[in-house]
Amino acid sequence: MHTVITCLPLHPSGQALLDARPDVTVRHMPAPSPEALRAAIGEATAVMVALETVDEALLAAAPKLSIVSRFGVGYDLVDIPACTRRGIPVGVTNGGNDLAVAEHTMMLMLAVARRAIEHDANVRAGTWMRREGRPMGELAGRTVLVVGYGRIGTRVARLCAAFGMRVMVHDPAWPLPRIAADGYEPVADIAEALPRIDVLTLHCPASETTRRMINAEMLSLMKPTAWLINAARGALVDEAALIDALKSGRLEAAGLDVLVQEPPDTSNPLLTMNNVVLSPHNAAAPIETFEKMSIRAARNILDRIDGTLDPGFVVNPETLPNRRNV
């Protein structure tokens, strides 16, 4: 019998997969504290995590653990080297949220361009057609730099092109001729490109090499009319530098689905800025996305139990049988 701990409620379609297995017992622990999860994980074969931290302390308490199934594609809260040393694959829901996050990115971009949140508030307050403040703008004709050309970034690039934007792409993992073959301008050096763009949108994971990649120096290279869009990870941006740039007028606006601290402290200046559009890290929250991610997260667990886990859904595929040299 395999014990599976789930740290979040699943869509019925994903839950049904687990419930249909007679060899699986599911223990639901929605949003457990670190102490509660550590106390419960000793007998677990698998754990499905959302925003829970998986570190050395948790793994040391889990001698039977054979997979960490991440509900999402980001894994900055999971100690990948520690899992790899123990031969524990870390599964992710690749393909489950690509469309939703790309659509959300465009929503943030459009909301910034058209000042949608401000105008909604004005109409509700009885103020019609307020004209002061920064001008509204079109997306067509603007130059956007897409940083990160994975499953989400490629969708964002296509959507931006469909809106008539000039698309530039930066991703060291992709050969420049390959990006050019897709019809976009490849960028090898972000700093060189920043003075030429109108919109910067981020779609890469948080890692030691990407944390605070958009810092005061990078922001100072952007046009004062430029916008920053971030639906990836808050850690990619030096938030203090961003606040300073937005306050001083060195950057016109930002659309953010992610912040460094989530939920943010109520004193965070971003919460009071009318040139900032915020959403609560819910780019992947549509019901259709929830179902797809639930199914994949459950499927990763069952496939690991059955010995058929697809390395395409694993962050550290070298932990799988016959994959040591991947």
Please give the model's pTM, rounded to 2 decimal places.
0.87
- Sign of the four-CA dihedral 266, 270, 276, 282: negative
**Residues linked to residue 314 through DSSP beta bridges, in sequence order:** 91
Give backbone dihedrals phi and psi of 244, rounded to 5 degrees, phi first.
-65, -40
Note whether 221 and 194 are within 8 A (CB): yes
CA distance readout (Å), 322 to 14, 325, 326? 28, 8, 9
Q: Which of 324, 323, 296 is nearest to 311 (CA)?
A: 323
Percent of the chain with pLDDT over 90: 92
Percent of the chain with pLDDT over 70: 98
Does pLDDT of 3 surpass 70? yes
Q: Running DSSP on this structure, what letter comes out for residue 222?
A: S
Structure confidence at residue 324 (pLDDT):
47
Domain architecture of the chain: domains with CATH: 2-96+287-319 (3.40.50.720), 98-278 (3.40.50.720)
Distance CA 212, CA 242 (A): 10
> SS3 for 229?
strand
Q: Which residue has the higher pLDDT, 178 or 129?
A: 178
Structure confidence at residue 322 (pLDDT):
65
Active-site residue list: 233, 262, 281
Q: At 325, is the pLDDT very low, low, confident or very high (cuts 50, 70, 90)?
A: very low
Structure confidence at residue 131 (pLDDT):
79
Distance CA 281, CA 297 (A): 19
Q: At 207, is the pLDDT very low, low, confident or very high (cuts 50, 70, 90)?
A: confident
Rounded to an integer, the average pLDDT of 209-232 is 97
Q: In 53-170, which ranges are E strands?
A: 67-70, 90-91, 143-147, 166-170
Helix residue spans in 186-320 (DSSP H): 190-193, 216-220, 239-248, 287-306
Q: At 323, is the pLDDT very low, low, confident or very high (cuts 50, 70, 90)?
A: low
- Give how far the C-alpha of residue 216 lies from the chain's centroid of Cα atoms, to the nearest Å: 22
CA diameter of the chain: 66
Tokens linked to 148? 């990160």
Q: At 76, is the pLDDT very low, low, confident or very high (cuts 50, 70, 90)?
A: confident
* Residue found under tokens 């004005």: 122
Q: Which of 303, 82, 77 is nearest to 205 (CA)?
A: 77
Rounded to an integer, the average pLDDT of 88-97 is 94
Q: Which of 46-50, 57-61, 123-127, 163-167 is the least confident region?
A: 123-127
CA distance readout (Å), 139 to 114, 120, 151, 152, 198? 9, 20, 22, 19, 9
